[in-house]
Amino acid sequence: MSEETKKPGGLSRRDFVKGAAAVASLAIGGAALTGRPAEAAWGDLPQKWDQTADVVIIGSGFAGLAAALEARSAGSDVLVIEKMPVHGGNSVINGGDFAAAGNKFQKEQGINDSPDLMYKDMLKAGSYLNHPELARIVADQSLAALEWSENFVGAQFTRLNFHGGHSVKRSVQTVNASGSELVNKMMAKARALGVKFEMRTKLVRLIADKEGRIAGIEVLKGYRFPNEKTGKPAFIKASKAVVLGAGGFSNDVRLRQVHDPRLTDKFDSTNHPGATGEALLAACTAGAMDVQMDWIQLGPWTSPDEKGFGHVPLFCERLVGYGPMIDPGTGKRFFKETGNRKERADAIIVIGHPVLIMGDSYAVTKQVFPNALKKGMEAGAIKKFDTLEEVAKAYNIPADKFLAEISRWNSFVEKKKDADFDTMIFPEAKPTATAPFYVARLWPRVHHTMGGLVIDKNAQVIGFDFKPVKGLYAAGEVTGGVHGAVRLGSVAMTDCVVFGRIAGTNAAKEKPWS
């Protein structure tokens, strides 16, 4: 055991980890979750490795793929494993919005922005719980990350959007309004550069040597999610490093309830089914520290009338600042439409029933991506009405109160000043007055887990001794601290690409351990 792993009071990091793992196994069955006794966390190298790569990456979303591209470009031999049958995780189904301070669309539209302002917005939304040095890196490198996604990866971004909680419009959206534009181009580029991919291969354990350095991983090959009895065990050696880009745990009801007991299976999630936390727990079992696990974000813009992420988020988020959100029980507005996700989701949950977002034909035509509108309408989640009276009737809203409230909202839009909730009303917004009117119901769903592994500015995972866990990097939603209490919309892509690139670059610089 090296001197540096000694802890005050004579406890070594190894003892500390064993103790922590034992506590974890008592609390949540940690050993059962990783399929291994906690004592096997350190020192137990396999007799024979089945496979070797310089850098082994877990997860094929934005974070894992950005890491893969950088590590490969730096000359490393790179293997990406993915437990699902298809690549992309949540990244491939997200809305394709990427926050970048000072981007060319902002310049064209005369919008002043800066990394400083983005950093301030992130900290304000995050209730100042963000690890400042990490948030600072995301804001400072946001534009470079976008330009890399365009110029190196070849993804196309074509519009500028607003997301609640940002002080300006700063989110550029992919040409197809989906993260698939970036993910699929990252995959193609990675394949062209010689990155190897293995689908249906699930990380079950990180393997550390006697000093706690991560030497490789244990996987199940041919794994068929979610059947834990499937797959054949194998050992993969990571000569340089392992990078975790395994995403969050929004669909892991057991783990999310450990941290926020309110989030029972009654709350749906927007995430892909594989958004479960076993990779994060495997890292903790190997000595990684976690942070802010109980900050779990609900998206306020999902609809109970469609499944998963759906189309309504793209409808709702484009309409805030152009059209009102209404509580059908009272016929009145109830919260700042351009508030951040947590504020809005909390306000809806307090009301206790689905609320409405609406826009008239001017707002919808100007703002909403036509395909999102079409698909939302086909799914029956977005409805069209010729008059406001019909809207009131369809949602059982007290008509007189509703009509008075729309007049009041329209007077605010004309003055560009919301005297009730201080919603940001955009310069081009017009009164909600031109038929037809489009309406969707909203009820929050679990969307993003802000907590996760502690990393430093080099994307190295930090252990219980506050030192980097050698050979282990992480980026994206599997990490914690970047966003603090609340992740702002469209900063996930930025975070994943910025820290994925840092993780891949630094993993490739590691000296092979044998």
Q: Between 247 and 321, whose beta carbon lies closer to ligand ADP?
A: 247
Minimum distance from residue 445 beta carbon to ligand ADP (Å): 15
CA 506 to chain centroid, in Å, comes to 22
200 is a catalytic site residue? no
Q: Between 173 and 423, whose beta carbon lies closer to ligand ADP?
A: 173
Minimum distance from residue 326 beta carbon to ligand ADP (Å): 33
Minimum distance from residue 81 beta carbon to ligand ADP (Å): 5
Minimum distance from residue 500 beta carbon to ligand ADP (Å): 7
Binding site for ligand ADP (CB under 6 A): 58-64, 81-84, 89-91, 202-203, 245-247, 274-275, 278-279, 476-478, 496
Catalytic residue, chosen from 170, 205, 318, 341, is 341
Bond preceding residue 85 cis, omega within 30 of 0: no
Minimum distance from residue 478 beta carbon to ligand ADP (Å): 6
* Residue 511 CB-density burial (10 A; 0-12 exposed, 13-18 middle, 19+ buried): exposed
Q: Between 90 and 173, whose beta carbon lies closer to ligand ADP?
A: 90
CA distances from 399 to 329, 386, 392, 442 (A): 11, 15, 5, 20
Residue 86 burial (CB count, 10 A):
12
Query: In b/e form, how buried is each residue of 234-251, taking b as 16+ CB within 10 angstroms?
Result: bbbbbbbbbbbbbbbbbb
Name 439's bridge partners: 358, 383
Pick from 31, 61, 15: nearest CA to 204: 31
Give the Cα separation of 494 and 496 in Å (integer): 6
- Residue nearest to ligand ADP according to CB distances in the complex: 61
Structure tokens at 201: 């291969």
Length of the chain: 514
Q: Between 103 and 251, whose beta carbon lies closer to ligand ADP?
A: 251
Structure tokens at 408: 């009041």
Pick from 183, 181, 175, 168: nearest CA to 103: 168
Pick from 275, 271, 277, 273: nearest CA to 290: 277
Q: Between 77 and 228, whose beta carbon lies closer to ligand ADP?
A: 228
Give catalytic residues, as residue numbers: 341
